[in-house]
Amino acid sequence: MLPTNQPRPFKAPLKIEKKFERISTGIHAGSLAALVLTAAALAFGTRIEPAVLWTLIGLFAVASLLSLFIALRPDGFWRLRQRVAYDKLTAVLDRASFTDKLHAEIRRAGRYHFPLTVCLLDVDDFEELNRKNGKYYGDEVLQKFAQISLGHIRSSDFLGRAGRDEFLILLSHTDLTQAEKFLYRLYLQIQERLDLSFSAGITSYRPGESGQEMLRRSEQALERAQQEGQRKTRCLICKDDSRVVMNFDFGKMPG
């Protein structure tokens, strides 16, 4: 049974977008009203000092540019940041934004020499669940899966949606053994609260590799885990060597 007390996906991006639009409208309307009143005063013969007049015109110009910047977001920066950075269904990072975060963390890991691990999770039997219960039920499952996962990562970690029923987790300052324990704890929560399981592929950063290479290795690790059956986790140690890190069916906490 699905829990009924899980929160809906966080809608911060949409709220921020609307707030910016209200601020933009207010600034533009206020400055336009001031300019109209100034023009009306001049039309009726009211004397206004040149310095004051030019100050008012300058303030209107600045306010107009500011409101246009907020409203239009030059080069789409703000609009892309708020609308594209988050997956619409689950409100976690989309794949492109997750990849950007990964590139940034790889640069930091290369500079400060700390471990960095990526986990690629795939919900087991999701297509069958979708077929039996319908698309909307499946969407709700994905939303709850994302929220439970968000509740288990730290502020320094990142969660993204990689595909229909796949999620990416970036664990900063985390080696493979620590990632193994993290996945086990998350697995227990997913089992308890959603009555679902997942398979996973995990890989740790190797100096000199790119984010795309790291993601590709996590995909290869997941494929190998799924070949052995569900509820499996594999770690890709190097290009041609993969080992089973955990079989969730064992039912005991990894050492």
Label residues 203-224 b or e (16+ Cβ within 10 Å = b). bbbeeeeebeebbebbbbbbbb
Task: List the end-to-end C-alpha distance of the chain, in Å, as a whole number.
Answer: 31
pLDDT of residue 73: 52
pLDDT of residue 79: 46
Contact between residue 78 and residue 20 where contact means Cβ atoms under 8 Å apart: yes
Per-residue pLDDT of 111-133, as tens digits, reads: 999 999 999 999 999 999 999 99
Phi/psi at 239 (5° precision): -60, -40
Average pLDDT over residues 52-72: 68
pLDDT: which is higher, 167 or 79: 167
- The whole model's pTM is what? 0.66
pLDDT of residue 32: 67
Per-residue pLDDT of 65-88, as tens digits, reads: 766 665 555 444 444 444 448 899
Q: Which CATH class is domain 95-250?
A: alpha beta
Bridge partner residues of 172 (DSSP): 116
Q: Per-residue pLDDT for 9 more than 50?
A: no
Per-residue pLDDT of 175-229, as tens digits, reads: 988 998 999 999 999 999 999 999 999 999 988 889 999 999 999 889 888 888 7
* Structural domain boundaries in the chain: 12-83, 95-250
Contact between residue 8 and residue 143 where contact means Cβ atoms under 8 Å apart: yes
Bridge partner residues of 198 (DSSP): 123
pLDDT of residue 121: 96
Question: Cα angle at 121 between 117 and 126, to 5 degrees?
Answer: 175
Q: Per-residue pLDDT for 103 more than 90?
A: yes
Per-residue pLDDT of 21-48, as tens digits, reads: 666 666 666 666 766 777 776 676 677 6
Q: Of 146, 183, 139, give the one whose Cα is nearest residue 161.
A: 146
